[in-house]
Amino acid sequence: MKTFKKISLYLVFSVLFFMKATTSSFAASGAAVNYVNTVYALMLCESGSTLSSCLNPTVIRSTPSGTSMNIGSVSSGQSAGSYGNLNTLVPGKTYTYGQVVLDRSFSISGTGKDGAGDDCQTGSGAAGTATAFAVGSAGTSTTTSQTIYAANGTGNGDAMNSSPNTDSSTTGDAAAGTLASTASHKYMKFRWELASPYTYTGTKIPKMTISFDLSAGLSFNGECGGTAGTTNGITPGSPVITNKIYE
């Protein structure tokens, strides 16, 4: 049974929900119980934007030092927190996409089956890095969080790319689908299409809700306790997201 979490507020942070596609030849998914990341900026993108490009962004909120949020810790239907306020929207402007700037490092707890069909959990293994998956442990506990990293690579889909910027700046950004190995690229941008285009009338501040399914929030690749690298271990999974803006 899928459990949907919801962020309901004047904002929308949690589209942190992408995650790097695994490069392993055999992998399985598992549910994330805790799913913590640091968000640096949230913005909505003007009509004409695409998964690979956020045009003329309106910044909903920017926190240069970062704001930590756990989207897995709340009960179904409850709020995971708030980040920003939609009173920054420009009257008459139509928005079609959202974009969030995130840290490439996650703290996640959960369990599932690895690529060999064995029980695997987050825990005391080596943390994930830009060049290696996190090393999992045999077991089914969901209480111990582990650092899981969105590793270097290409082919991650147009919706995401790494960046040296924690704001809407694009100087030095990697191409769409690329998480670059450049040392300064500690952050990543993720874009998503709104459920429907929204034009702010300026008469009433809208609300935005985001619901997401974390039942596949972790990817267990190869043998979860195998040698650190890009064949065995744990990577962030991709939550399924739905969202809408309404007045």
Q: For residue 131, what are its two tokens?
A: 């060049």
What is the average pLDDT value for the chain, to the nearest integer? 81
Fill in the DSSP letter of residue 206: -
Query: What is the number of other CB atoms lying within 10 angstroms of the CB of residue 11?
Result: 20
Q: For residue 101, what are its two tokens?
A: 């700037």
87 SS3 class: helix
Q: For residue 52, what are its two tokens?
A: 């690979």
Query: How many residues make up the chain in this entry?
Result: 247
How much is the average pLDDT of 38-59?
95
Quote the pTM value.
0.83
Which domain covers residue 27, as residue numbers?
4-246
Number of domains forming the structure of the chain: 1
Residue 211 scores a pLDDT above 90? no
The string of pLDDT tens digits covering residues 145-164 is 999 998 898 988 898 899 99
Residue 44 bridge partners (DSSP): 58, 98
In single-letter form, the type of residue at position 163 comes to S
Position 221 scores a pLDDT of 86
The string of pLDDT tens digits covering residues 69-126 is 887 665 545 555 577 788 899 999 999 998 989 899 989 898 988 888 899 999 888 9
Fill in the DSSP letter of residue 133: P
Burial class (CB in 10 A: 0-12, 13-18, 19+), 204: exposed
| pLDDT confidence band for 176 (50 / 70 / 90) | very high
Position 214 scores a pLDDT of 65
More confident residue, 25 or 107: 107
In single-letter form, the type of residue at position 105 comes to S
